[in-house]
Amino acid sequence: MASDSKIGIGFVGAGWMGTTLMQRIIEHQNSEIIALHQRSEKNARESLLNLGLSQDLYIKDYSEMLSDPEIDAVFLCSPNSSHGPQSIAALNANKHIFCEKPCSTSYSDYLKQLELAKSKPHLITYVNYLMNFDSMEKRICDMVRNEQFGKITQIQVNYRHPINISGSKSWKLRSEIMGDAIGMGIIHAISVMLNIMEANGAEPVSVYATKNEDSTRGFETAPIYNIMINFNNGATGFCFGNVDLANGYDAYHNIHGTNGGLIFDSYLDRPNKIRFWSNKTTDGKWIHPLDPSRCPPTTLWPEDTTTPDSGDVVKHQTGACVNHFLECILEERESFLSFENSSSTAELGWAALKSANSGQVVRIEP
């Protein structure tokens, strides 16, 4: 490890998201950034300056970073197409891995990741489906486990967000680098939906998806997907995904069960964003848990409840996801979002792509 038994971090890609994650690493008392690798040396050095880190941390060669025994873990925030090759190299170098989504833009690289991760259980891996750290999402899963909605029969989670393509982020327009719109962002909604349904004891069994090539900003690949998921408890899930155009950040949730339901609308003002009903806890009446004037004290949610309604990564739960990964390393425990544990999300994403390309329903293998 690095000095004073801190976790030594090799960081790749100090862009918009990367710089925010680096700040969270700096704030953690048990970690230390040892090296930064980035395609643009100029941008890397600017990031180091802005973060108050030594210019000596810049390293031009990724393989040199991996050969450094002081580096225990790598954070991969590089462009999407690099995630697979870089994570495979890191696993072969026996480094823990924090990988931005998607874990890979190549199915063969994805399978190699899984194979290597399974063969090296001592290594901690993590895919950054960070919406799962939002306090609203965690509360919804707890409510589902407590059977407040009964058996979920229908669920919708959207991801419509005009992803940032300005300046150095214009690579997101290029299909050979971005990969696809599902991995670029829509996968967040899929991950959230699967976690909610898992809390209800259900797993996906098939998917049917369509795509739309219409683009207002010049994407080389389809920016719009409509995804329908069937679950083994008979429930149906739906996701509207669009990384090209939206009036803000649309993470709409609609959960309907045999004993209750919940709606979250990210476009509304805070008191109106969330409403739910439950025969178990609200006598079947709709309440607004973020509005004290329309919610009994017993079901009122805390004032610090966060909701996934911004595309600004500074407002995302970056501290929670970084802390989770580092604590997993320190405690030698597997992350719930490891390559293997999050494979159901990745597999569904691959299946949705296959369905959209073929026009056929695709079965999800258990």
Give the CA count within 13 Å in the CB-facing half-sphere of 235. Answer: 25
Residue 133, pLDDT > 70, answer: yes
CATH architecture of 3-130+316-346: 3-Layer(aba) Sandwich (3.40)
Q: For 259-279, what is the mean pLDDT? A: 97
On the question of pLDDT at 315 being above 80, the answer is: no
Q: CA-CA distance, 32 to 55, in Å (whole number)?
A: 15
In degrees and rounded to multiples of 5, residue 76 shows phi and psi of -105, 100
- pLDDT, mean over the chain: 95
Burial of 156 (0-12, 13-18, 19+ CB in 10 A): middle
CATH 3.30.360.10 residue ranges of the chain are 131-308+348-358
pLDDT band at 3 (very low <50, low <70, confident <90, very high): low
H helix count then E strand count, the chain:
11, 14
- Which part of the chain has CATH 3.40.50.720? 3-130+316-346
- Average of per-residue pLDDT across 76-80: 96
Instruction: Note the pLDDT of residue 187.
Output: 97
Evaluate if residue 313 carries a pLDDT over 90.
no
Residue 295 has pLDDT above 70, yes or no: yes
For residues 291-309, average pLDDT: 93
- Name the band, by pLDDT with cuts 50, 70 and 90, for residue 312: low
- Rounding to the nearest 10 degrees, give the CA dihedral for residues 343, 338, 312, 269: 70
Q: Which of helix, strand or coil describes residue 172?
A: helix
Q: What is the tens place of the pLDDT at every residue in 238-254?
A: 999 999 999 989 999 99
CATH hierarchy code of domain 131-308+348-358:
3.30.360.10
Mean pLDDT, residues 283-291:
97
Rounded mean pLDDT, 8-33? 93
**Tens digit of each residue's pLDDT (9 = 90 or more) over 88-127:** 999 999 999 999 999 999 999 999 999 999 999 999 999 9
Rounded Cα distance between 36 and 266, Å, is 35
